[in-house]
Amino acid sequence: MRICVVGAGYVGLVTAAVIAGLGHQVSVVENHPAKLAVLRRGETPIYEEGLPSLVKDNFRDGRLTFTDDIGAAAEKAEAVFIAVGTPSQADGSPDMASFYAVRDALCQLPYRSNAGRRLAVVKSTVPIGTGDALHHFFQKNAASRSWQVISNPEFLRQGTALYDTYNADRIIIGTEEEDAAHLLMKIYAPLGRPVLLVDRRSAEMIKYAANTFLAAKISFINEIACLCEQVGADIGAVARGMGMDARIGHAFLRAGIGFGGSCFPKDLHALLSTGQEAQLQLPMITAVAAVNHNQNLLLPRFLSELYGDLQGVRVCLWGLTYKPGTDDTRDAPALAVLAELTGRGAQVTAYDPQVKACWLVKQQFPAVAIAHDSYEAAARSEAIILLTEWPEFAHLNWNRLRHQVKRPLVLDGRNCLDGSVVEAAGFSYAGIGQKRYSLKRLQARTGSAEMGVALS
């Protein structure tokens, strides 16, 4: 089949490469000139495990092509996958400008009389009712009446996007038009994944509800972690014990500094904005966002309390991406942490294994120094805060680090370090909700002679 994918981001490029790998002819439309230039060399402008080789192979074999001409690419296609961004606006609602630009371009294509129907597959996360509105928009116009609209939300996770696409728990197909559903099922059939057929609005709601539920699990475990600190329980043990209950499961029960990224915060706020439009209070979802906001700022605020004042204090940040395995810093907790620390006058040096993440952050926070590795970032620091659980942080030479820092303090925002190893090297260490290494314990020790010596 001839397929067109509009938007070569994390969703679009992965979708395009996987579908091309299934043997289809895929034309990808990308309107960002720099990204397009990279793609046209058969290279990948985003970091995603396994993606460069899949793109390269299909590009070389001529199954994957790149263009900025949506008209030409969509005209020849049997199905057009829309995967453009829908970022948050100031009021929390998604910015649909890119989506509408695509809609308007598709609308211009000539009517297909005997060449068959055209399929518009909406993969972007869009407000509930968008698919129906697109359907009516196409129906109003004689030329675009051949379009059929399917809502086909995407559930891949950055960092494991290819794995998630090949092993999707489910493929949601939202349409009431049977022939359209069958065409899309035919495209996905080789993946052999379970398909759920629903109406367009329910498909759109499934995406928002699923992301909000996962975000709620994170905020829930973080709230319990804060309570663990106060009552002397250990969040690791608690999460393990909870997760063993098959009704709960282990996923998304890792306490830390909260979620970020291009999806959870955006989708949460989009759903709240939908609630507002429907004049419905959504107290639970409001709480999920509020808990996460506080959690993002927990460590810089703790540090500020610990030291009394952060003016001129040298702080080292390890990890800037919102999670490991990606170069994405959109809405990363690191941004909130940086705003808080620099707002309090701290001098921040940051390191992330992804160079692109470093320069993205540097653009937003020019005063922040960027280091080439963990050791350089930690040099002469008065506190190290770990924000992203990149595997390399678990294999550092703590004795070497102890000689480089000015004050030996480590705050582990992802509970991914071994506190006993870090403390054995002479550091003071605390994680989130850890019984042995709680923030409360660290705070209690600051007044003591032991801590005064340790931190000097």
Ligand X SMILES: NC(=O)c1ccc[n+]([C@@H]2O[C@H](COP(=O)([O-])OP(=O)(O)OC[C@H]3O[C@@H](n4cnc5c(N)ncnc54)[C@H](O)[C@@H]3O)[C@@H](O)[C@H]2O)c1
Tokens linked to 95: 């910015």
Q: Of 100 and 375, which CB lies nearer to ligand X in the complex structure?
A: 100
Near ligand X by CB under 6 A: residue from 156, 257, 317, 370: 156
Interaction pattern, residues 229-248, with ligand X; x per rule: CB under 6 A: --------------------
Q: Of 5 and 315, which CB lies nearer to ligand X in the complex structure?
A: 5
Say how many residues touch ligand X, by CB under 6 A: 28
Question: From the CB of 253, what's the least distance to ligand X, in Å?
Answer: 20
For residues 420 and 424, what is the distance between their CA atoms, to the nearest angstrom? 6
Q: Of 11 and 299, which CB lies nearer to ligand X in the complex structure?
A: 11
Please choose, from the candidates 12, 6, 51, the residue with its C-alpha nearest in 3D space to the C-alpha of residue 31.
6
Question: From the CB of 73, what's the least distance to ligand X, in Å?
Answer: 10
**9 binding ligand X? (CB under 6 A):** yes
Q: Of 164 and 177, which CB lies nearer to ligand X in the complex structure?
A: 164
Near ligand X by CB under 6 A: residue from 3, 4, 5, 10: 10
Residues 6+ apart with CB under 8 A from 235: 221, 224, 225, 228, 255, 415, 432, 433, 434
| Catalytic residue flag (residue 263) | yes
Interaction pattern, residues 326-345, with ligand X; x per rule: CB under 6 A: --------------------
Strand, helix or coil for residue 28: strand
Q: Which residues pair with 198 in a beta bridge?
A: 174
Please choose, from the candidates 83, 233, 89, 71, the residue with its C-alpha nearest in 3D space to the C-alpha of residue 161.
83
Residue nearest to ligand X (CB): 9
**29 binding ligand X? (CB under 6 A):** yes
Q: Of 44 and 58, which CB lies nearer to ligand X in the complex structure?
A: 44
Active-site annotation holder among 263, 316, 358, 416: 263
For residues 417 and 396, what is the distance between their CA atoms, to the nearest angstrom? 10
Q: In what order do the strands lie in the sheet with 118-122?
A: 64-67, 25-29, 2-6, 79-82, 118-122, 147-151, 171-174, 195-198
Q: Of 91 and 245, which CB lies nearer to ligand X in the complex structure?
A: 91
Q: In what order do the strands lie in the sheet with 347-351?
A: 369-370, 347-351, 314-318, 383-386, 409-412, 428-430
Question: From the CB of 255, what's the least distance to ligand X, in Å?
Answer: 22
Footprint on residues 113-142 left by ligand X (CB under 6 A):
123-125
Interaction pattern, residues 64-83, with ligand X; x per rule: CB under 6 A: ------x------------x
Residues listed for the chain: 456
Interaction pattern, residues 258-277, with ligand X; x per rule: CB under 6 A: ----xx--------------
Residue whose entry in the numeric block shows the structure tokens 């379970």: 194
Question: From the CB of 222, what's the least distance to ligand X, in Å?
Answer: 21
Near ligand X by CB under 6 A: residue from 18, 19, 30, 315: 30
Phi, psi of 116 (to 5 degrees): 100, 180
How would DSSP label each residue in 101-164?
HHHHHHHTSPP-SSS--EEEEE-S---TTHHHHHHHHHHHSTGGGGEEEEE------TTSHHHH
Query: Residue 376: is it exposed, middle or buried by C-beta count within 10 angstroms (0-12/13-18/19+)?
Result: middle
**Among 5-13, 73-81, 296-304, 422-430, the segment contacting ligand X (CB under 6 A):** 5-13
For residues 331 and 242, what is the distance between their CA atoms, to the nearest angstrom? 29
Residues with a catalytic annotation lie at 263
Catalog residues that contact ligand X under the rule CB under 6 A.
6-12, 29-32, 35, 70, 83-86, 98, 101-102, 123-125, 154, 156, 158, 262-263
